[in-house]
Amino acid sequence: MAAVVAAFDRVRRLYGFKRVEVPVLEATAVFARTMGETTDVVSKEMYSFDDKSGDSVTMRPEFTAGIARAFLSEGWQQHIPLKVATHGPAFRYERPQKGRFRQFHQLDAEIIGAAEAAADVELLAFGDQLLKELGIADGVTLQLNTLGDSETRERWRSALVEHFRGFAAALSDESRERLQRNPLRILDSKDPRDRAAADSAPPIDDYLTAEASDFFGKVTAGLDASGVRWTRNRGLVRGLDYYRHTAFEFVTDRLGSQGAVIAGGRYDGLVEALGGPHTPAVGWAAGIERLAMLVDAPEPERPTVVVVPLGERAEQAAEGIVAGLRREGVATDMAYRGNMKKRMSRASSAGAKYALIIGDDELDSGMAQLKELASGEQRGVSLDLLVEAIGG
């Protein structure tokens, strides 16, 4: 996970995204108003409780709503267009499974106050470069769709409701509920009972306004110019009304059913949902655990040298030697328990390159014994020149 966060920090700096922090605890209304009272996250998955003053608070299930709240309450409006990024823990009540946890960790990147398609392109290029930086881009596909503008979405929603009513008897119970409040979500249902209706649903392209079509064209042209490969997925949707235009997921087949490692879209109506002015925005979130599952395991951390003191006098001197080596940037540990054999065994099992052996004779002569554990070669080294002998 540390390697994922380190790569994220490197790439966000390249793209000029400023690091921000948002609270783990927010007023429940922040998520209920922005994510929708009827969504599964709000109705089933949030950890919410009353604080000591009787106000309902929630442990954040995601970052975007909190960032939008901070944008309004912390005076960030003066900095638009604003590019921000953050990472940390989030919480959802659900059955843990591969790639899904009750406490999980996310990366998050947002561009707030930019209505141009170039913002979408920049954010997608950021995600693409992050995957390349992690060495996992070859196994991940960027799936892209357009949700159109307000006029497009309203016309398409009406057509979908009419279409799905013809399949109402065959739909799953969940999709019958969605038919009235969130018909777009039927399109990405995994229930086999819904697939015939979803697969035959009218495509959004039939309802795109000229402006919406032009915007999507600019996004795809920008991705092509940036060298970001993508594929169209007409079934990729976002059910909430404040989503507009671009929707996307970076998807892999290497994590079972939990295949999306980065997901996001344009949410031009979110700040308005919190009572602010119309503020276009686009963003994505990525699961750190899911990305880490795709990354080759890093080399385990090992000390360069383990100091092996023999005798009380040597143990006291070794504390100063260990501290001095660490100050000089040498990863150092000390084997301070057991007989000589056990201490050397500990140095070997720690994966150290060297064991530095110090006893009374070595202290008197000012020379310690430096043993290279792989070869067994041992030589005397001056206590005053340890860093040079070990080589950092």
Listing DSSP states for 325-345 in one string gives: HHHTT--EEE--SS-HHHHHH
Q: What is the pLDDT of residue 100?
A: 65
Token duo for residue 70: 């901070």
Domain boundaries, the chain: 2-149+209-294, 305-390
Q: What is the pLDDT of residue 114?
A: 96
Q: Does domain 2-149+209-294 have CATH number 3.30.930.10?
A: yes
User: According to DSSP H, which parts of 288-328 are helical?
Assistant: 288-294, 312-327
Q: What is the pLDDT of residue 38?
A: 45
Whole-structure pTM value: 0.79
CATH class of residue range 305-390: alpha beta
As a whole number, the mean pLDDT across the chain is: 89
The segments of the chain whose pLDDT lies below 70 read 34-44, 95-100, 239, 241, 256-258, 297-298, 392
Q: What is the pLDDT of residue 37?
A: 47
Instruction: List the one residue out of 236, 231, 174, 179 whose CA is nearest residue 204.
Output: 236
Count of C-beta atoms within a 10 Å radius of residue 134: 21
